[in-house]
Structure 1
């Protein structure tokens, strides 16, 4: 059995179980994975491209165009408007695309590997570990370049994600709520350690700035390293079938000839790279990897391959909308995008929990 065949059989089995369920939903798996409704599963399409996706591209393109021309400075009539447009507006918009797509994909990968829809870098402590690595790098090497800071953040994020997976294996009860609670607790401990170190080294203000996700400081010459996460997104597209099979569990993945531990390690590396880079350049983008895959799955079902473009587009759209609101709401000042994204993400998180309780 090939990986693609295993993925197709998984979707067919889910659709069959959905049709037989009196409530129109499938019973949650022992790991607590919430499964899409019958309507969502039926709407999943095998084709990767179509006119709905084209409309999605056009909608996101419209939001990005609006981002390019939104701001206090008049890029049309002001002195040096063209320069300001190239130095600030274009880099900021590119950063919105890269960060939004990467963090949404990270959430999708983590949900597959943990078989839990409530998992993403914010709810596993990965972001807090990346912040700790960034701070320790600056403490040890005060003049560290942005590349060196990224290396420190990526290594710490990788270690933290591995710690989460190891801890998760030792937890006997793996309901849909226990898993993210474990991650949030681990993240809280790491955050407390980071705060203590920051107080001792007089870096508390810097720590607050790093965790306040914002695109305000994105300028030409400072955002280019974000292109690294574009490679992560492409790699996830290429390995989508393998991640899908790994999401079925270690036993099934091994039976179809997949090296489960290797895919788990590879997924951890991808998540660590994307989270570390985004944390250093932009900051924390809470709940983005949680809400995007869940919304796409509710609408389109669980056909991972055809959902990947939608996950990217929706991630970009949500980040762009939150950034636009942050720029407009208290103009000429700006509200950090993490604040607005946190409010929206928390509301969606609660809604997902209530829905899980209702169908479970």
Structure 2
């Protein structure tokens, strides 16, 4: 293998593969954490306004904090992401109707409002075209030097594994958690922080990727049950494989051109989401 091919391999191919796998593992585990702490199978970063808030934070940092660098943009995106997620959690606590479908609809509505604010700001500052290309889930621009930030997700995934049993317990409610010796509020906050950071890292590095955190945990749960400690790494591995498969499909459909991965994931994810809803009703 000559030097040019080696450069392509290490500068472009390996970084892309690593970022796809880390993003897939991260978003799927973030999704199952959200489902556990909200005790709802249809809640995920996509349906809890987490991703939309992270996108708003990314745009905000691009406009008002030009000099902060990519790490600073991630921190600002994280702040917006965690605020949006906590707002969703507060709304969820206030709602008396705990229907499995109604709760994620609230999150989708909140995300729609935040998305509308993001679009308005983009139009106001004439950044809508740049914003669309920047925040659209796409791995085509991933090369060595601009993907390493997403690797910060790996320690968070390890922490998620250590807290898996506690996340399962708090999904049973505050009273049961207290009786079992688990600090409900602290564990809840840790879960929200992990989900928000992972979502921010993915949005800043490769853009928005929908539905991975929704469909993968449900697929594993249907087969293995709801024990997060037993399922968490299988969920992560399946999420990475799923995202890699979607990336390959996106590169083959109109080869040599490429369809952004968020479109492929969105189409597949929406059909699976509808299937899960109808399956739940039955």
**TM-score tier after normalising by the smaller chain length:** over 0.9
Q: Give distance in 2, aligned partners of 1:315 and 1:223.
A: 19
For 1:43-192, list aligned pairs within 5 A. Answer: 80-192=4-116
Preserved CA contact (<8 Å) 1:327 1:335 = yes
Say which SS state the counterpart of residue 80 (structure 1) adopts.
helix
How far the C-alpha of 1:211 sits from its partner, in A, is 2.8
TM-score, normalised to structure 1, is 0.77
Matched, 1:333 2:257: yes
How far the C-alpha of 1:160 sits from its partner, in A, is 0.5
Q: Give distance in 2, aligned partners of 1:238 and 1:117.
A: 21
Q: Give distance in 2, aligned partners of 1:286 and 1:189.
A: 17
Preserved CA contact (<8 Å) 1:131 1:210 = no
Q: Give distance in 1, aligned partners of 2:45 and 2:226.
A: 21
Q: 1:212 — aligned with what?
A: 136
Give per-residue Cα distances to partners, 1:300-354, cap 9 Å, x unaligned. Answer: 1222212112101110011000000111111111100000000010000000011
Q: 1:270 — aligned with what?
A: 194
Matched, 1:300 2:243: no
Report the RMSD for the aligned CA atoms in angstroms: 1.1
Give the unaligned 5+ runs of structure 1. 1-75
How far the C-alpha of 1:143 sits from its partner, in A, is 3.2
Q: Give distance in 2, aligned partners of 1:338 and 1:278.
A: 12
Q: Which protein has the bigger helix share?
A: 2
How far the C-alpha of 1:250 sits from its partner, in A, is 0.9
Say which SS state the counterpart of residue 67 (structure 2) adopts.
coil
Q: Give distance in 2, aligned partners of 1:275 and 1:228.
A: 11
Q: Which runs of 4+ in 1 moved over 6 A?
A: none
Q: Give distance in 2, aligned partners of 1:148 and 1:119.
A: 28
Aligned length: 282
Q: 2:235 — aligned with what?
A: 311
Q: Give distance in 1, aligned partners of 2:11 and 2:209.
A: 23
How far the C-alpha of 1:267 sits from its partner, in A, is 0.5
**Structure number with larger C-alpha Rg:** 1
Give the unaligned 5+ runs of structure 2. none
How far the C-alpha of 1:241 sits from its partner, in A, is 1.0
TM-score, normalised to structure 2, is 0.98
Q: Give distance in 2, aligned partners of 1:126 and 1:302.
A: 23
Say which SS state the counterpart of residue 100 (structure 2) adopts.
coil
Preserved CA contact (<8 Å) 1:135 1:207 = yes
Give per-residue Cα distances to partners, 1:50-76, cap 9 Å, x unaligned. Answer: xxxxxxxxxxxxxxxxxxxxxxxxxx6
